[in-house]
Chain A
Amino acid sequence: MSFINYASREINCKIVYYGPGLCGKTTNLQFVYQKTAPEAKGKMISLATETERTLFFDFLPLALGEIRGFKTRFHLYTVPGQVFYDASRKLILKGVDGVVFVADSQEERMDANLESADNLRINLTEQGYDLDKLPYVIQYNKRDLPGIVSVEELRRELNPTKVPDFEACAATGDGVFETLKAIAKLILFDLKKGR
């Protein structure tokens, strides 16, 4: 859950990027890191294996500015996508304020997308969250590659509840900030509603 500090006038929110292995979660964070002004970002931490696969999580703190005199900070996390890291994935969902599901648009990754989306719902339920009540956006990544599934089909399979969704190519940065902005907006409006 978000942390509101009236003493230092700060609001901290936690965003988790979820999705199957190699779908581009870390690449999303790396692009945000590259394109953010030095004063607005902290160090990006990647707990990864020697082959640069995420082992535990990536972490990127962003201090985007003030809203109504409150410093607004977003902490971006990714989960390890590979199936066998499920125990770690559950831990990272603790205290989440909003989720970005990064789907891999390639045909051969459709099963992996569906499995990961199911896994997200199950793991959230285990932590006491309901995905349908949580700020949630979907990103269809790798739109630049050949052999990809149409957006209509991705939408049908992965977005039955019609949450905001975006096409992206995280490697070049297309759609990365649109996605982040959308989830940030949902979280802040959710905070407003909850009061």
Chain B
Amino acid sequence: MASPQLVMYDEEFKQINAVIDRLLREANSKVIFLVDKNGQLITGCGETERFDTTSLASLTAGNIAATGGLAKLIGEKEFSILFHEGEKDNLHISIVAGRVILVVLFDSRSSLGLVRLRVKKASEELAGIFGRLLQKSEEKEKSGESEFPFAEITDDDIDNLFS
């Protein structure tokens, strides 16, 4: 298949949240999201309740996919940073470890320079965590050890979803 399945475990989830919580403070930003390249929201921190996070995740991934397509057309591998400037709020979007998207929303209390600097540092940490995560899920898969909840799934379970 095109890319391995993303699996998230408790331990790494906590580490990731700690990194973006710190980034939120150090970059003076309002909201931070981590999104899978396929458009699934992984986690977020800050004033997340003010936003439609699911839509934001899907549109961000669409945005990254579209600019990635543009990059290939001009012979670039990808554009790893996107910046959208608004009247009040700005979006800094970057690709971490080639597969997750880090979105930082900030206003005039911060600056592009500060956000870029802090994002760079946090990205390295996040890349390390996602690397370990991938390794872990591969190992679990190889050893056949899995707490996968769907092994026992039945027709009725699925029918119930639509009732």
A residues near B, CB below 8 A? Answer: 1-8, 11-12, 14, 42-43, 45, 47, 56-57, 59, 61, 64-65, 67-70, 72, 75, 87-88, 90-92, 94-95, 127-129, 177, 180-181, 184-185, 188-189, 191-192, 194-195
- Chain B residue numbers with a CB within 8 Å of A188 are 150, 153, 158
Q: Point out the residue from B54, B65, B158 that lies within 8 Å of A184, measured CB to CB.
A: B158
A56 to B55 alpha-carbon distance, docked (Å)? 14
Shortest C-beta distance, B128 to chain A (Å), equals 18
| Partner among B4, B6, B8 whose Cβ is within 8 Å of the Cβ of A7 | B8
Can you name 30 A-B pairs with beta carbons within 8 Å? A1-B4, A1-B5, A1-B38, A3-B40, A7-B9, A7-B12, A7-B14, A8-B8, A8-B13, A14-B39, A56-B62, A57-B62, A61-B58, A64-B161, A64-B162, A65-B161, A67-B158, A67-B160, A75-B39, A75-B58, A91-B62, A92-B65, A94-B2, A180-B162, A181-B158, A184-B161, A188-B158, A191-B148, A191-B150, A192-B153
Q: Determine if B9 and A6 form an interchain contact, defined as CB atoms under 8 angstroms apart.
A: yes
Q: Flag if B69 contacts A4 (CB, 8 Å).
A: no
Closest Cβ neighbor of A187 among chain B residues? B158
Q: Which single member of A2, A8, A91 contacts B5 (CB below 8 Å)?
A: A2
A-B CB proximity, top 3 nearest: A95-B38, A7-B13, A128-B2
B69 touching A91 by the CB < 8 A rule?
yes
Q: Does B152 contact A (CB under 8 A)?
A: yes
Residues of chain B within 8 A (CB-CB) of A70 are 149-150
Whether A1 contacts B52 by the Cβ 8 Å rule is no
**By the criterion CB–CB under 8 Å, are B153 and A189 in contact?**
yes
Q: Which residues of B contact A12 (CB under 8 A)?
A: 40
Is B76 an interface residue, CB under 8 A from the partner? no
Q: How far is the CA of A54 from the CA of B91 in the complex (A)?
A: 25
Cβ-defined partner of A5 (8 Å) among B8, B147, B155: B8
CA distance A57 to B159 in the complex (A): 28
| A127 CA to B2 CA, complexed, in Å | 6
Q: Among the listed B2, B55, B62, B149, which residue makes an inter-chain contact with A1, where contact means beta carbons less than 8 Å apart? A: B2
Instruction: For the complex, give the distance between the alpha carbons of A180 and B158 in Å.
Output: 12
Q: Which B residue's beta carbon lies closest to that of A66?
A: B161
Extra A-B contacts (20), CB below 8 Å, given A57-B62, A181-B159: A1-B4, A2-B5, A3-B38, A7-B14, A8-B13, A14-B38, A42-B54, A43-B52, A59-B39, A67-B161, A68-B157, A70-B150, A72-B161, A94-B37, A94-B38, A95-B2, A181-B162, A188-B150, A188-B158, A195-B148
